[in-house]
A and B are shown apart, each in its own frame.
Chain A
Amino acid sequence: MTDSVPPLDLRGFTRPGQGSGLFDVIRRRYLLSLIVRKDVGVRYRGSVLGWIWSYVKPAFQFVVFFFALGVFLRLNNSTEVYPVYLFSGMILVNLFNEAFSNSTRSLVDNGALIKKIFLPRELFPVSATIVAIINFLPQALVTLIVCLFVGWHPTLVKIVGLFVALAIVLVLATGLGMLFGAMNVSFRDSQNFVELIVMVVTWASPVLYPWTAVRSVLPPWLLEAYLLNPITSAVELFHAGFWYPTTSGAPELPPHLMLNALVGLAVSILLLGVGQLVFKRFEGRFAQDL
């Protein structure tokens, strides 16, 4: 059978396996919601404490950092309302770390499905990010309640800033998750590399210490680079939204924070685009390499 098939009218035909990326995820949002529900439901199944774990983990992390840094290193004395400072930054960085590392692993975790049925593969990193958001929401609620308790008087701009921060973190985590997740299919080194990044992220932004401590040791141009890190902008927006309105107003926020944040958002969107491109390039090999 080497003689070719006669040419024919190809209207109405499609090439299987060639979707339109993240747009397909929006189109298949019912499936997305089921995948998210599955991941959420399955996560703590079979554990006695169940969902309480998603509170226990950040609570423990908070207590450890609070004593190590707040009490022993005396940040509690030098930073106003340090517990709120610490917690509000920590939950945002945790959101990023969880969304990033889970979406990096999501393709390998769902390998059995990817190998057998065609569906938009972007569904997996996106659903991993959504699961991280669901985990984050109760922590944000706790932060809000504590803020109200200690006296919170934010301006509208600061509240808008909270949402800009979330946008930066989620877009960046999904973009990088797609990038590293796609490489992880062929090279499992990728997920180990991501673990390293995640470890550094918490310390490379003013989460545990104030940014003014960095200003006092870095030359101005390095400080500028430090402040341009999108995660740093997002964390500072969270501080500006949650923590700053509970202080006397004496602490300093970084200069032109909103501008830096918008640059950070632009960079994140760009990286999401790069992530999608690399994902598409590698996608053809997912089913055979997994």
Chain B
Amino acid sequence: MPRTSDTTTHAPRIYLRNVSKRFRLRHTHSFKESFIAALRGKQLSTSFDALHDVNAVIGEGESVALLGFNGSGKSTLLKLISGVLVPDDGDVLTRGRIAGLIEVGAGFHPDLSGRENVYLNGAILGMTRAEIDARFDEIVTFSEIEQFIDTEVKHYSSGMFLRLAFSVAIHTEVDVLLVDEILSVGDEPFQRKCLAKIRELQRAGKTMVVVSHDLEMVSSLCGRGILLEHGRVVFDGDSKDAVSLMRSR
């Protein structure tokens, strides 16, 4: 786990060169099926290009909105940057510590208490014990669920759950934050609070890649927009222009 690096260097944070990702859509799910299909000369799988020849360099402190319709490859690209998936072609290179918030509360366990989950998730997102200890109160205060912190998470309302999960994620010590569709968590006051926190991180020089279908919000949050269509980059530039291009399609 790389440490957060000092902010004096100005090399890019994310470097994508000719990145392609192909998914095999398998038609067989056991040795037996595969064997029979192979014997009959049937195709075992068809492939599908989720991303095709994507190029981009994302600099330090930059905030980028990743736009596109459903299935255009946004989540796939974030997963490649976070290392969950590996590219079939091209290079994905990153510098510094990266937290991919592909889904809020992915590492939460319903049978553990809020407190235990904060520690487990903090560690999953790459924090050390000392870092979590130091931030624990801040995390709980931000989520505003102090009263329930020792209750099992399965007894939380879905909003409370999202609050705590988002709060852990946003308090991780990182250089690059990948945010997928999670700014819509919680009620309106909490959403405002999240946006304020994100702006604070931007001012602190963190790099961000944000996916959201709330086009107004995301284009006001990020200066740059990358528009994906069927796995290809069709526009890379000012986020307002990206949004109007997307609306015109």
Contacts and interface: CB of A to CB of B under 8 A. Distances in A.
Q: Do A and B come from one complex?
A: yes
Interface of A: 1-5, 8-10, 12-18, 27-28, 30-31, 34-35, 38, 41-42, 45, 112-119, 187-189, 284, 287-289
A41 B112 contact: yes
A15 B83 CA distance: 8
Given A14-B2, A34-B119, A113-B106, A5 B55 contact: yes
A51 to B, nearest CB: 15
B111 interface: yes
Contacts of B100: 116-118
B78 to A, nearest CB: 10
Contacts of B81: 16
Interface string B107-126: 10101100010011001110
Contacts of A188: 29-30
Contacts of A27: 1
B117 to A, nearest CB: 9
B84 A17 contact: yes
B86 interface: yes
Interface string B129-169: 10000000000000000000000000000000000000000
Which of A12, A27, A45, A116 gathers most chain B CB within 10 Å? A116
B17 interface: yes
Contacts of B98: 16
Contact of A116 (B16, B26, B102): B102
A201 to B, nearest CB: 22
Given A4-B18, A30-B129, A287-B85, A15 B124 contact: no
Contacts of B54: 1
B191 interface: no
B175 to A, nearest CB: 11
B15 interface: yes
B131 to A, nearest CB: 10
Contacts of B212: none
Nearest to A7: B17
A58 to B, nearest CB: 25
Interface of B: 1-2, 5, 9, 11-12, 15-18, 23-24, 26, 29-32, 34, 53-57, 79-86, 91-95, 98, 100, 102-103, 106-107, 109, 111-112, 116, 119-120, 123-125, 128-129, 232-236
B124 A31 contact: yes
Given A8-B15, A14-B94, A118-B83, A28 B1 contact: yes
A284 to B, nearest CB: 4
A1 B233 contact: yes
A30 B120 contact: no
24 contacts: A1-B55, A2-B53, A4-B55, A5-B16, A8-B11, A8-B12, A12-B5, A12-B95, A16-B80, A16-B81, A30-B123, A30-B128, A30-B129, A34-B120, A35-B120, A41-B111, A112-B106, A115-B106, A116-B106, A117-B100, A118-B82, A187-B30, A287-B79, A287-B85
Contacts of B31: 187, 189
Which of A18, A28, A31 gathers most chain B CB within 10 Å? A31
B171 to A, nearest CB: 16
A113 B128 CA distance: 19
B57 A117 contact: no
A30 B119 CA distance: 10
A288 B85 contact: yes
B64 to A, nearest CB: 14
A287 B50 CA distance: 14
B85 A13 contact: no
Contacts of B12: 8
B231 to A, nearest CB: 12
A77 B80 CA distance: 64
A1 B128 CA distance: 40
Contact of B82 (A10, A16, A112): A16
Contacts of B34: 187
B84 A18 contact: no
B246 to A, nearest CB: 15
A1 B53 CA distance: 9
Which of A1, A28, A113 gathers most chain B CB within 10 Å? A1
B230 to A, nearest CB: 13
Given A113-B107, A118-B100, A9 B83 contact: no
A28 B1 CA distance: 8
B93 A15 contact: yes
A240 B17 CA distance: 61
A115 B85 CA distance: 8
B95 A288 contact: no
Contacts of A35: 120
Contacts of A112: 106
Given A16-B81, A117-B106, A1 B1 contact: no
Contacts of B94: 13-16
